[in-house]
Amino acid sequence: MAELRGALIGCGFFAVNQMHGWRDIAGASIVAICDRDPERLQIVGDQFGIAKRYADAAALFEGETLDFVDIATTAPSHRALVEMAAQRRVPAICQKPFAPTLADARAMVKACVEDGVPLMVHENFRWQSPIQAVRAVIDRGEIGTPFFGRISFRSAYDVFSGQPYLATGRRFIIEDLGIHILDIARFLLGDVSTITARTARINQAIAGEDVATMLMDHASGATSVVDCSYASRLATEPFPETLIEIDGSDGTIRLAQGYQLTVTGMNGTVVSDVSPPLLPWASRPWHNIQESVVAIQKHWVDCLATGNEPATSGADNLKTFALVEAAYLGAASHEPVHLDALL
């Protein structure tokens, strides 16, 4: 099969990981890049040797014949860019958070369905190899039927220096980080029927909430707790590890700090190290996230080749995004929120 021709829109902080990822993946390459900031265009263009550079997305679509576009801008531009791709019948990857509102996200999915264009949300945490290892234990039936989960992300890592916009938005941790953790809960325990949420702002220098605690009922009958904090100083900073506890009818799974996986089943306990590999271009502590970028981008190339719907498609992500909206609604009202009302 001929190599897929992709373009990257948005050459900021995180896009560099995506560019490294594309360089590692057979079957696709980035032939053009776009950013409205000339400095970012030059930095990324020079670093990755991309000569075709555009300051404007419409000019990119006009000037290039593309098999896909990888949108790595922040949420306010996502809807316009995805709709532009759909109109031109160009399959699109869109970074999380999918959109500023659920209504925007729904419109983006609709536009792509109507134009027959594949759409994947770059919802990459579930693609981290330690998370995939947890899912594989569940799939092998080693702990029986899961009835409880705790998916936890607690840290005091300074995310604001690399991503200053995170300090200024009315919404912070649920929209930015919780979205991944809620998605992992769905990935491991299935879709959610009800969510109850509480939030707090501990760091008074930022505008949004930096702590969120959520309790969810899954359609499977399981219950989960998803807790996120960027206000938790710990002896050893765990960023960006997601810690997991799953209890099932026949055993338990614990993914502990340091990527230690403990599975207790009918035949005893097995402890293993599920540390993600440190890719040649990656740097600690981000290597966990960086590895998952390669995994999700490979999945995209496979899906375009086979015609399969991506696991983290736009349509699937509506259910994760609805959890974000529901969590904010529930935190404001202090009432449980039923997901059917939003989907």
Which of positions 167-186 make contact with ligand 89Y (CB under 6 A)? 176-177, 180
Site string for ligand NAD, 165-194 (x = CB under 6 A): -----------x------------------
Q: Which is nearer to ligand NAD, 126 or 254 (CB)?
A: 126
3-class SS letters over the chain: CCCEEEEEECCCCCHHHHHHHHHHCCCEEEEEEECCCHHHHHHHHHHHCCCEEECCHHHHHHHCCCCEEEECCCHHHHHHHHHHHHHCCCCEEEECCCCCCHHHHHHHHHHHHHCCCCEEEECCHHHCHHHHHHHHHHHCCCCCCEEEEEEEEECCCCCCCCCHHHHCCCCCHHHHHHHHHHHHHHHHHCCEEEEEEEEECCCCCCCCCCEEEEEEEECCCCEEEEEEECCCCCCCCCCCCCEEEEEECCEEEEEECCCEEEEEECCEEEEEECCCCCCCCCCCCCHHHHHHHHHHHHHHHHHHHHCCCCCCEHHHHHHHHHHHHHHHHHHHHCCCEEHHHCC
Residue 15 touches ligand NAD, criterion: CB under 6 A: yes
Name the binder of 40 from ligand NAD, ligand 89Y, none, CB < 5-8 A by kind. Answer: ligand NAD
Site string for ligand 89Y, 234-273 (x = CB under 6 A): ------x---------------------------------
Q: Which is nearer to ligand 89Y, 60 or 173 (CB)?
A: 173
Name the binder of 159 from ligand 89Y, ligand NAD, none, CB < 5-8 A by kind. Answer: ligand 89Y
Residue 12 touches ligand 89Y, criterion: CB under 6 A: no
Closest-by-Cβ residue to ligand NAD is 12
Name the binder of 75 from ligand NAD, ligand 89Y, none, CB < 5-8 A by kind. Answer: ligand NAD
Among 29, 74, 196, 275, binds ligand NAD (CB under 6 A): 74
Q: Which is nearer to ligand 89Y, 146 or 208 (CB)?
A: 208
What residues line the site for ligand 89Y (CB under 6 A)?
Answer: 159, 163, 176-177, 180, 240
